[in-house]
């Protein structure tokens, strides 16, 4: 197994700085993105290279981008989508030139990941992200004051209304069609640029606000990978996103889609009811997923790619970007690294 441990870094505005990330013992690199350019525009080579240089100054690689966002007009199959797909291709080419090897993206209409609570108090005095389906069903996306990292904060109320209206005519099959167009265009460019595309599942993996969601279960992941049968059309297997539906087994998916999964988000969730969960830290004992089994599967299938700890709780009084503090993610990284060391039969000096 060649499991490279990475850590998400949100750029210069991130309170979790690179010098801190560097001190987490197992870190190979950062996962980041260009944040100074609106969705649908070409990323400047200088912005891309600046991330690479800043990471290198802290002995960290920059091989994974999360995310190159897909413009809504591509997901909608709207007029002008072809031009936006060309921009996407150009970004892949530029990233490949700068040494990026994997690009994570998602195909969720309008919203990226969604939670009903950003700071749910846990019994130990920490707090975590949580999702309660009833609460979400009661939310009005036009007036919601929730703001999450990953959401496009540039929506105005009017813009959001218009966008939701446009999706009224896009059902699941239409979304599949638009994803097919996108993949058939972009995957050959990714192959030539030696950049693995890795789609992130829908989080949570069910539909809400009447919007279609299709990257949700094993059957649909298979369908997606078959659209273009290439290792460059791959998955970001997010154990927490898929695992919040008890019908999904992340370990089984890792086994089934071995060789097509360049990037894995290793996070746990605790299912607290029907379509309800909280993010209780990484270790198996605190959540519903068996993280040992998951890392064991990576080992058994000869995983060769990048992983990262994902959302952490806020502990030790830390404040900051919900889910993306330093402390609990660092604990998660060490735990995962420990599991990997154990399943692979112990640390070998040549692994250093
Ligand atoms: C949330 C993240 C997502 C993810 C995107 C990928 O914490 O896992 O925002 O980055 O969905 O495009």
pLDDT tens digits in sequence order for the chain, 352 residues long: 999 999 999 999 999 999 999 999 999 999 999 999 999 999 999 999 999 999 999 999 999 999 999 999 999 999 999 999 999 999 999 999 999 999 999 999 998 888 888 899 999 999 999 999 998 888 777 775 555 544 555 567 778 888 999 999 999 999 999 999 999 999 999 999 999 999 999 999 999 888 999 999 999 999 999 999 999 999 999 999 999 999 999 999 999 999 999 999 999 999 999 999 999 899 999 999 999 999 999 999 999 999 999 999 999 999 999 999 999 999 999 999 999 999 998 766 665 5
Which pLDDT does position 341 carry in this prediction?
95
State in Å: Cα 346 to ligand 1 middle: 32
State in Å: Cα 143 to ligand 1 middle: 23
Which pLDDT does position 137 carry in this prediction?
82
Is the bond preceding residue 12 a cis peptide, omega within 30 degrees?
Answer: no
Q: Using a 6 Å cutoff on CB, does residue 152 contact ligand 1?
A: no
The alpha carbon of residue 62 and the mean position of all alpha carbons in its chain are separated, in whole angstroms, by 16
C-alpha span between 163 and 295 (Å, rounded): 40
C-alpha span between 127 and 118 (Å, rounded): 8
Tokens standing for residue 333: 């990284």
Q: Using a 6 Å cutoff on CB, does residue 185 contact ligand 1?
A: no
If you take atom 1 of ligand 1, which residue's CA is the nearest one?
A: 113
- 220 φ, ψ to 5°? -75, -35
If you take atom 12 of ligand 1, which residue's CA is the nearest one?
A: 105
**Atom of ligand 1 lying closest to residue 67 CA:** 12
State in Å: Cα 206 to ligand 1 middle: 15
State in Å: Cα 149 to ligand 1 middle: 8
Is the bond preceding residue 204 a cis peptide, omega within 30 degrees?
Answer: yes
Specify the CATH class of 4-108+171-266+289-351 in words. Answer: alpha beta
Closest to 324 (Cα-Cα) out of 112, 149, 108 = 149
């Amino acid at each position: 197994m060649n499991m490279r441990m990475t850590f998400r870094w949100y750029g210069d505005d991130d309170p979790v700085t690179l010098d801190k990330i560097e001190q987490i013992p197992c870190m190979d690199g950062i996962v980041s993105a260009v944040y100074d350019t609106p969705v649908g525009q070409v990323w400047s080579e200088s912005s891309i290279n600046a991330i690479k240089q800043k990471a290198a100054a802290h002995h960290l690689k920059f091989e994974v981008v999360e995310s190159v966002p897909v413009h809504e007009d591509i997901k909608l199959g709207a007029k002008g989508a072809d031009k936006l797909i060309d921009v996407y291709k150009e970004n892949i080419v530029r990233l490949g030139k700068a040494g990026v090897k994997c690009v994570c993206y998602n195909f969720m209409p309008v919203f990226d990941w969604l939670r009903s609570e950003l700071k749910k108090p846990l019994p130990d005095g920490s707090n975590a992200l949580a999702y309660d389906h009833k609460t979400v069903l009661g939310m009005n996306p036009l007036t919601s004051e929730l703001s999450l990292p990953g959401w496009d904060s540039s929506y105005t109320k009017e813009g959001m209304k218009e966008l939701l209206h446009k999706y009224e005519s896009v059902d699941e099959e239409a979304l599949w069609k638009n994803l097919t167009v996108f993949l058939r265009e972009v995957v050959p460019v990714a192959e030539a640029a030696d950049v693995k595309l890795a789609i992130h599942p829908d989080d949570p993996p069910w539909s809400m606000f009447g919007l279609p969601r299709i990257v949700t279960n094993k059957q649909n992941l298979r369908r997606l990978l078959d659209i273009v049968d290439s290792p460059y059309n791959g998955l970001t297997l997010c154990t927490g996103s898929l695992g919040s539906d008890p019908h999904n087994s992340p370990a089984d998916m890792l086994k089934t889609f071995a060789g097509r999964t360049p990037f894995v988000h290793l996070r746990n969730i605790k299912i607290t009811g029907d379509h309800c969960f909280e993010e209780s830290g990484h270790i198996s004992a605190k959540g519903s997923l068996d993280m040992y089994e998951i890392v064991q599967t990576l080992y058994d299938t000869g995983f060769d790619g990048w992983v990262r700890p994902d959302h952490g709780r806020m502990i030790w009084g830390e404040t900051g970007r919900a889910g993306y503090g330093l402390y609990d993610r660092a604990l998660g990284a060490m735990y995962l690294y420990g599991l990997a060391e154990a399943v692979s039969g112990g640390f070998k000096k040549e692994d250093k």
